[in-house]
Chains A and B, each alone.
Chain A
Amino acid sequence: MHETALMQNMLAIVDKVIEGQQVKKVNSITLSVGKLSNALPDALTFAFEALTADTPLKGCKLILKELPAVAVCEACGADTILNDFPFSCPKCGGKFYTIVQGEDIYIESIDCELE
């Protein structure tokens, strides 16, 4: 359950981004949550609400978008959505792969009202 730590890290980044931008109110923060990021969406929302309860961000919405895992075949370079294991490249049957998307969580955007 490291979702609280993830949300603390996210809020620190959000603070830095909006600092000096004359933001009156933050309406929503949009995150892309990778399928292999080891984070539970419900737990992220719960941690976010708990951490922002007594702050100027109270009431701000957390919008979570699922980001699929994408693997690139090391033999032929084709990319595939990785849904289950073992990996087998649909183009050439290759077994070795590199994950290029879906391992992390990204802050996409912050929707806010300016002064």
Chain B
Amino acid sequence: MAEIKVQKDVKSLNKEIAEKNRAEFKKHNIFVMNIMGSPGSGKTTLLENILPVLAKSYRTAVIEGDLATQNDAERIRKTGVEAFQINTNGGCHLNAKQIEAEYAKIDPDHTDLIIIENVGNLVCPIEWDLGEDLRVVLLSAPEGEDKPLKYPPAMLKTDAVVITKADIASFADVNIEQMKKNILSVNPKAVVLEAGKVNGVYSAESVIDYIKEKIKAKKAE
């Protein structure tokens, strides 16, 4: 009998491709953002609202991940932004290889910003590095204020958490202030933002400002 010592991260093959993606994005000065969150947390709706503003300043492309359908890519294209749909056929997350393949369809010399909307799921997408610069997790108010405590890795392995649908929190008996406290109790370094309807009008100003600030900081590196 022989024992072969390995000491290797199970996801190291994905990590290698993610690092390759990251180097490629850097070479072409492209900022890449990975949006994650449960199904129905409002990821596509957030994109529909921030893309018209972001596309004025940055040449933007969106990569959509879903188990099935072209629905989300079609919704994004209506904003005038180019969108590429990945269907994972049951896969619960996107991986770096899928992003590498979609990136090959994007003209890197005419792109400043790529936004990836991951498969709706608060567990699996968190674990797979895609080569992104920024990670944002959406948490909708009706999911409940205790979710940050129940899904700690989703709060830990992200830069920012955006609370959505706060306007219906009172109907779902959810305490938004407690939800914020719970996010920060798991990850005191997380940036906590809000997006959603205020008096019937969707607003995502703080999210747009945050993304712009991050893009600026990367360009200054």
A interface vs B, CB < 8 Å?
1-2, 5-6, 9-10, 12-14, 17-18, 21, 27, 31, 36-39, 85-87, 95-96, 99, 103-114
B14 in contact with A9 (CB, 8 Å): yes
B93 in contact with A109 (CB, 8 Å): no
Interface size on B, residues (CB 8 A): 33
A13 in contact with B12 (CB, 8 Å): yes
B interface vs A, CB < 8 Å?
1-14, 91-93, 95, 123-124, 126-128, 149, 152-153, 156-157, 184-186, 188-189
Top 10 A-B residue pairs of the complex, sorted by shortest distance between their CB atoms: A2-B124, A86-B185, A107-B6, A105-B10, A110-B4, A85-B186, A10-B10, A38-B153, A85-B185, A107-B8
- Known contacts: A2-B123, A9-B11, A113-B1. The answer to whether A96 contacts B188 by CB under 8 A is yes
Q: Which of B9, B13, B93, B186 contacts A105 (CB 8 A)?
A: B9
Contacts of B2 in A (CB 8 A): 111-114
Given the complex of chains A and B, what is the CA–CA distance between A9 and B93 in angstroms? 14
B13 in contact with A99 (CB, 8 Å): no
Given the complex of chains A and B, what is the CA–CA distance between A104 and B189 in angstroms? 20
A13 in contact with B157 (CB, 8 Å): no
Contacts of A10 in B (CB 8 A): 10
- Known contacts: A1-B92, A114-B2. The answer to whether A38 contacts B11 by CB under 8 A is no
- Known contacts: A2-B92, A9-B14, A104-B11. The answer to whether A109 contacts B124 by CB under 8 A is no
CB distance from B153 to the nearest CB of A (A): 5
Contacts of A5 in B (CB 8 A): 91-93, 95, 124
Given the complex of chains A and B, what is the CA–CA distance between A5 and B127 in angstroms? 11
A108 in contact with B152 (CB, 8 Å): no
Counting chain A CB atoms within 10 Å of each CB, which of B1, B128, B186 scores highest? B1
